[in-house]
Amino acid sequence: MKSYDRLFIGGEWVEPSSSSIFKVVSPTTEELIGSVPEAQNADVDRAVAAAREAFEHGPWPRMSPTERGAVLTKVAEAIRNDMQGIAELISNEMGSPVAWGALAQVFAPTMILDYYAGLGSTFAFDTVKDGLLGPVMVSKEPIGVVAAITPWNVPLFLACAKLAPALLSGSTVVFKPAPETPLDANLLAEIFVEAGLPNGVLNVVPAGREVGAHLVNHPGVDKVSFTGSTVAGRAIGAACGQNLKRVSLELGGKSAAILLDDVDLDVSIPLLLPNAIMNNGEACISLTRILAPRDRYAEVTEALVEQVRAMKVGDALDPATEVGPLVAERQRDRVENYIRIGQEEGAKVALGGGRPEGIDKGWFVEPTVFVDVDNSMRIAQEEIFGPVLSVIPYDTEADAVRIANDSDYGLCGGVFTADNDRGLGVARQVRTGTYMVNSNVPIDFSSPFGGYKASGVGREFGEDGLELFLEKKTINLPAGYTPKV
């Protein structure tokens, strides 16, 4: 049991304004594993005030980017030193298979922290050039107080994707983690304290949607960095538009893997599968639509079903587990509802569709493969967020591209082929922010990541991810003056 009775605000663990708590329950055992105070509007007000004070008067924005980067490096080291422990904590919170989690939930965040720490000494925060009318300096300054709002599916990863660049910029942060995963958020605060982060630079307010909306609308917040559902993203984008508040949105996806007619299935299915059912299917970038050439449809389905069937379902903490339980009972209800909808729409279940045999506790759903899926069906258009794949036939390469693009979303995707040039040609035609050509790497932390269409606004990672937390100021200089930068 890991229980907190205080909130991390202004560099201290303070009394919450109410006695409400969030209980954290293991999706595998359905047992209580911890609790935290549920932050209320008054706690958010206090956190924003602390972040504002640290921004206006504290040392953090005035330190050099290299000094700020050194704190990120210490945080990365501390996380790496407890990789297994943190992976187990996150698996206990939300059901991620621990072996996958050690890499994606824990090691990946250290790569993100290290990358931004490195940018502290290489990124050009100030540049001087000859403008059209005289010398000009362009200065990139911290954006101010940031509200960072994240979902539960890759909690530490998404926190670091926001905190690392926001903090490197010199901004200060009010971080609102999801109610399902507040324990790793508090642990991260403890690690930042150990690493020497000044008071008020990071504040953590575990809260639900309404209090989240209060944070978004707070006049003391300069920028909202949100990851979550497209429905919430629309509401947050609208609220920020109304207040002319800076906002970036990382939202849902319904990505397609295109298997071209020359594909070697022995190579390609193992390459795409980890990105199709990663994190129990609870991943925005999952390749949940598998597009197969009609004359190889049976062969693709057979190979896919065989390999999905071989995936080990079980306790999230068992290192052999490849598919764990879904985050909550309501998420299992949602996924089972989609499985029903798919059948009602006329798709056929080629594998799974129920609950795994022999497991009588936990919110498990069998890994499920639908065949005879038409792209207009709801199971092909809507984000299910569970281990459910749809195999969709196509006739020509152009048809495959058309189907891949026939989606409200545009987050990720991949093409698998014996011909890399042909694959790159397809990649250029698919309207998504990230793409894989015969690759199993969906995100490169040194390069922009984000959504076309309803998958988001803005790009995280790489220098773009830092620019999300910078305001640009152009300073016109007198002729003959060259400042030191």
Taking the complex as a whole, how short is the minimal distance between the CB of residue 264 and ligand NAD, in angstroms? 30
Specify burial of residue 82 (Cβ count, 10 A radius: 0-12, 13-18, 19+). Answer: middle
Select from 41-49, 222-230, 287-295, 469-477 the region that touches ligand NAD (CB under 6 A): 222-230
Residue 463 DSSP SS3: helix
List of residues 6+ apart from 148 with CB closer than 8 A: 159, 162, 163, 166, 173, 174, 175, 176, 225
Nearest residue (CB) to ligand NAD, 181 versus 321: 181
Among positions 164-183, residues that touch ligand NAD (CB under 6 A) are: 176, 178
Taking the complex as a whole, how short is the minimal distance between the CB of residue 449 and ligand NAD, in angstroms? 7
State which of residues 21, 63, 195, 213 lies at the interface with ligand NAD (CB under 6 A). Answer: 213
Nearest residue (CB) to ligand NAD, 385 versus 445: 385
State which of residues 89, 102, 216, 308 lies at the interface with ligand NAD (CB under 6 A). Answer: 216
Annotated catalytic residue: which of 250, 336, 366, 460?
250
CA 464 to CA 235: how far, in whole Å? 24
- The answer to whether residues 336 and 343 touch, using CB atoms and an 8 Å cutoff, is no
CA 409 to CA 402: how far, in whole Å? 13
- The answer to whether residues 450 and 460 touch, using CB atoms and an 8 Å cutoff, is yes
Nearest residue (CB) to ligand NAD, 199 versus 229: 229
Among positions 381-400, residues that touch ligand NAD (CB under 6 A) are: 383, 385
- The answer to whether residues 123 and 65 touch, using CB atoms and an 8 Å cutoff, is yes
Dump strand ranges (E) for 335-439.
Answer: 348-351, 368-371, 388-394, 409-410, 413-416, 436-437
Say whether residue 287 binds ligand NAD (CB under 6 A): no
Cα 24 versus chain centre, distance: 20
Bridge partners (DSSP) of residue 137 are 128, 475
Select from 65-73, 144-152, 182-190, 289-297 the region that touches ligand NAD (CB under 6 A): 144-152
Say whether residue 268 binds ligand NAD (CB under 6 A): no
Specify burial of residue 70 (Cβ count, 10 A radius: 0-12, 13-18, 19+). Answer: middle
Q: Minimal CA–CA distance to 316: which of 99, 103, 24, 83?
A: 99
Mode of pairing for the β-strands spanning 388-394 and 436-437: unpaired
CA 467 to CA 169: how far, in whole Å? 8
State which of residues 152, 192, 370, 394 lies at the interface with ligand NAD (CB under 6 A). Answer: 152
Q: Which two tokens stand for residue 483?
A: 């400042």
Select from 20-28, 80-88, 208-216, 334-342 the region that touches ligand NAD (CB under 6 A): 208-216
x/- binding map, residues 44-83, to ligand NAD, per CB under 6 A? ----------------------------------------
Cα 472 versus chain centre, distance: 26
Rg (CA), the chain: 23
In what helix (H) or strand (E) does residue 149 lie, and over which residues does it extend?
strand 145-149
Nearest residue (CB) to ligand NAD, 96 versus 227: 227
Euclidean distance between the first and final Cα of the chain, in Å? 51
Give buried/exposed letters for 89-118 (b at 16+ CB in 10 A, else e): bbbbbbbbbbbbbbebbbbbbbbbbbbbbb
- The answer to whether residues 24 and 183 touch, using CB atoms and an 8 Å cutoff, is yes
Residue 471 designated active-site: no
State which of residues 135, 208, 356, 448 lies at the interface with ligand NAD (CB under 6 A). Answer: 208
Nearest residue (CB) to ligand NAD, 170 versus 212: 212
State which of residues 212, 293, 393, 414 lies at the interface with ligand NAD (CB under 6 A). Answer: 212
x/- binding map, residues 232-261, to ligand NAD, per CB under 6 A? x--xx-------------xxxx--------
Say whether residue 336 binds ligand NAD (CB under 6 A): no
Taking the complex as a whole, how short is the minimal distance between the CB of residue 303 and ligand NAD, in angstroms? 27
Among positions 344-383, residues that touch ligand NAD (CB under 6 A) are: 383
- The answer to whether residues 272 and 261 touch, using CB atoms and an 8 Å cutoff, is no
Residue 284 designated active-site: yes
Annotated catalytic residue: which of 180, 284, 322, 460?
284
The closest residue (CB) to ligand NAD is: 212
The residue type of 226 is F
Say whether residue 7 binds ligand NAD (CB under 6 A): no
Taking the complex as a whole, how short is the minimal distance between the CB of residue 101 and ligand NAD, in angstroms? 15
Say whether residue 43 binds ligand NAD (CB under 6 A): no
CA 212 to CA 149: how far, in whole Å? 8
Q: Residues binding ligand NAD: what is the number (CB under 6 A)?
A: 30
Nearest residue (CB) to ligand NAD, 39 versus 259: 39
- Hunting for tokens 């403890």 — which residue is that? 190
State which of residues 39, 149, 392, 401 lies at the interface with ligand NAD (CB under 6 A). Answer: 149
Say whether residue 284 binds ligand NAD (CB under 6 A): yes
Interface with ligand NAD by CB under 6 A: which residues? 149-154, 158, 176, 178, 208-209, 212-213, 216, 227-229, 232, 235-236, 250-253, 284, 383, 385, 411, 451, 456
Active site residue ranges: 250, 284
